[in-house]
Amino acid sequence: MNPRQPTRQVTIGDDRVGFIRIGGGLPDASGAPTDLAPVAVQTMTAGYTHDVARCVAEINKLAAAGADVVRVAVPQKKDTDALKEIIPQVSVPIVADVHFHYKRALEAVEAGVHKIRLNPGNIADRAQVNEVIDACKERNLPIRVGVNEGSIIERKDKQIRKTELGKFFDQHKQGHLLALMIAKLEEYLDIFAERDFHDVVISAKSMDAAFCVDVYSEISRRFDYPLHLGVTHAGTRETGAIRSIAALSALLCSGVGDTLRISYASDPVYEVEDGLELLYSLSLRERVGIDLIACPTCGRIQVDLFTLVQDVRKKLAEIEIPMKVAVMGCVVNGPGEAEGADVAVFAGDRRGIIYVQGERVANVSEAEILDRLHAECVKLQESVRAGDAKLGEKVVEIIPPDPIGELGSGFEKIATGRVESRSELTVGKS
């Protein structure tokens, strides 16, 4: 992991919903140093903003899932009118996503929104942009300048443009698009600089993960504003997750990115869950709740592990501390793989042996594993909160029991010829 690139810092929010800081590391306008803020997770509502009750319910659901900031679309005046009723009922900063009509931005500012997103591809009139900048400046509201590959219009002279602009990035298969996005951003940001407005976040999304990596890397070299990462129109959770994570993790590992949205064509709660998991996995955010380790299963499996892991995930959702929990399908490789867990269960012959902070606490039947594991996790959480235990200190470090002896695991397989020899049991790979 490279260290995070320092940027200017932007703050979104108010006294009621709280403040979310984006980026940092460079001095603020008064010259005072700023700390790097944790990478923030954003998402966008999927329903109509003018349907006030549904919009409020959706925003609150996304906030409960862990969204730091929620964006809403405001294509019509009735949407910006609705913001006046929505904002007092929610507990996270709200961003108005504005396209085509600069007046929607002015109305959203009036309604009390916390940030505006403008698209240089469809609000380009300098006088109109200046009006929005002035309205935001008066209320200390940041603006995200979000350029999208989709809003770069290919012209009749595409081939000439490709040759002319492509030469600036001749190593890149879409060099001319890269040049156009950066030129558009530079041109747009000049309007902001002329107004001495620097409360800016930049994004430059594409549906091509490799292109996203290149364009964001280039932008981070050229501008010192914080970056909002995203792969746009990534697809469903099944297809979009890999596309998004491929681009975002490459950028985050290189130190680029201050806030992100993973976009799926499905419930935006998944965008929040997966965005947070990405940041937890890269140690860019402090985990809230359990860190679940589970074996992928193999021919040594001793219980219905797929069902058990899903049930464990759901049942332990109430645990709020970053407890490492391991669910392992057998005792052969399980102990080694679960090393470092605070709580672990190893399956054997339709049973589960449960360890808490290195101590063996139970040996229960398959049907009892879930409830006992849950009870042990709740108990450990209470002990940690009372100061009687500390996470990660006394972890599972076990000499595995004889797989054929105590638990009986493996015996049948050897007997039926599914495992050739004892050595295969003990050196099997996951």
Task: Kindly list the residues in this chain that would bind ligand SF4 in the complex (CB under 6 A).
Answer: 295-298, 300-301, 328-330, 332-334, 337, 428, 430
- What is the Cβ-side half-sphere exposure of residue 297, based on CA atoms within 13 angstroms? 10
**CA 154, 159, 161, 162 torsion-angle sign:** positive
Of 20 and 396, CB closest to ligand SF4: 396
CA–CA separation, 399 and 413 (whole Å) = 22
The phi and psi torsions of 181 (rounded to 5 degrees) equal: -65, -40
Of 178 and 305, CB closest to ligand SF4: 305
Tokens standing for residue 393: 């200190």
Of 178 and 303, CB closest to ligand SF4: 303
Q: Exposed/middle/buried for 125, CB within 10 Å: 0-12, 13-18, 19+? A: exposed
CA–CA separation, 223 and 219 (whole Å) = 6
Least spacing, CB of residue 305 vs ligand SF4, in Å? 7
Least spacing, CB of residue 422 vs ligand SF4, in Å? 14
Of 50 and 351, CB closest to ligand SF4: 351
Of 215 and 303, CB closest to ligand SF4: 303
Residues 50 and 75 sit within 8 Å (Cβ to Cβ) = no
Q: Return the H-helix or E-strand segment holding 80.
A: helix 77-86
CA–CA separation, 63 and 66 (whole Å) = 5
Closest CA to 256 of 14, 52, 11, 39: 39
Of 60 and 430, CB closest to ligand SF4: 430
Of 228 and 300, CB closest to ligand SF4: 300
Tokens standing for residue 404: 């054929």
Least spacing, CB of residue 294 vs ligand SF4, in Å? 8
Q: Exposed/middle/buried for 46, CB within 10 Å: 0-12, 13-18, 19+? A: middle
Tokens standing for residue 296: 């992928």
Residues 428 and 400 sit within 8 Å (Cβ to Cβ) = no
Of 363 and 430, CB closest to ligand SF4: 430
Closest CA to 132 of 91, 79, 188: 188
